[in-house]
Amino acid sequence: MNLKTLPKPFFVLAPLDDVTDTVFRRIIAGCAPPDLYFTEFVNVDGLQSPGRPNLMKKLLFTSAETPLVAQIWGKQPENFYKTAQQLADGTFARELGLPEGVNFAGVDLNMGCPAKDVVKTGACSALIKDWALAEDIINATKDGLAGRLPLSVKTRTGFDKVSMEWIEFLLERKLNMLTIHGRTRKEMSKVPANWDLIAKARRMRDHSAPDTLIVGNGDVKNRQHGLELAERYGLDGIMVGRGVFEDPFAFAEKSPWLDMPKEQKIELYKKHVELFDGTWKDRERHIATLNKFCKIYINNFHGAKELREQLMAAGSAKELIKLLDAAA
């Protein structure tokens, strides 16, 4: 896929671990699809180990969720090389049982996740402090892809403090796309995203890497908000993460969500539960995973809080569906 064929600005569903799996992506696709999807982040060192089958659920997708970028992370450059090679040549697609010709549209390197247990290993946002390893990982991934799929990086504006030198370093690697979350790792999500820094990165791009697309990320509520940000800061794309928790129609030109009756919201959650049950037949994901989605749908109507409490105590999809049918 050529990322430059995407509309300007294009909209991306952010990778959220244990959230934006194939089930939720299909729900979003049915409500109002973005222009580009990302997988959850998947560890290359695990993929190139006997534990590979356990991680394949993070790469699972259907043709309804395309184009889809595989987001990867880890520590060993040789495993990035192997994983990139197998993503590009369709090995993973075949293992997932996808139809001939259906494959990932790109590969993204996670150099921004701030989670303490991940950073402790020296991966993701810890790479902001380890440029040598970051460069080895980028080069190994490029070699594995061999130009067959575009390469992007998702990162933050620094680790303990803002480092535009880090952004310049990444731009010098001539990536196809760079997504910048407007906070440092230290800031986590405790302060508003700094879009002026994202705009600064875009100006740096204009000078040193004109072919690299710049995507802004952080606190984007919906398409309208994203369009305003893209125009104000001159960005190629906008990534929406937590905004979909407020509105599953976040990518719509005009969302119906606020005025949607209780019955339709309940029906959409029921569809999510049924998709979950049909997809993870062998319990690859625990039923409690559905709890984090409950507030998206069961919200802003009379009795929503009480219904959420009942749903979050349910122990099976069957029980959830029974409760939803009774409440509709």
- Tell whether the model's pLDDT for residue 58 goes beyond 90: yes
The residue among 156, 152, 157, 133 whose CA lies nearest residue 142 is 152
31 is catalytic: no
Is the same domain home to 232 and 272? no
Q: Is residue 251 part of a domain?
A: no
Q: Read off the pLDDT of each residue in 281-310 and give the average, rounded to a whole number.
A: 92
pTM of the model: 0.96
Identify whether residues 116 and 19 lie together within a single domain: yes
| Alpha carbon separation from 246 to 62, 188, 198, 242 (Å, rounded) | 25, 20, 24, 7
Residue 328 confidence (pLDDT): 84
pLDDT at 281: 86
The domain that holds 152 is classified in CATH as 3.20.20.70
Q: Is the pLDDT of residue 116 over 90?
A: yes
End residue of a domain, out of 246, 273, 290:
246
pLDDT, position 24: 97
Let me know: does 171 contact 135? Beta carbons within 8 Å.
Answer: no
- Asked if residue 284 has pLDDT above 90, the reply is no
Domain holding 300, by residue range, is 260-327
Average predicted confidence (pLDDT) for the chain: 96
- The predicted model gives 79-103 an average pLDDT of 96
Of 31, 113, 124, 294, the active-site residue reads 113
Residue type at 15 in one-letter notation: P
Q: pLDDT tens digit string along 1-35?
A: 789 899 999 999 999 999 999 999 999 999 999 99
DSSP string, 38-94: EEEEEEHHHHTSTTHHHHGGGT---GGG-SEEEEEE-S-HHHHHHHHHHHHTTHHHH
**Average pLDDT for 301-314:** 94
pLDDT at res. 196? 98
Kindly state whether residues 118 and 242 are assigned to the same domain.
yes
Same domain, 269 and 160: no
The count of structural domains within the chain is 2
Q: What is the token pair recorded at 112?
A: 């921004």
Residues of the chain with pLDDT > 90, as a percent, come to: 96
> What CA–CA distances, in Å, run from 119 to 74, 111, 112, 176?
10, 10, 9, 25
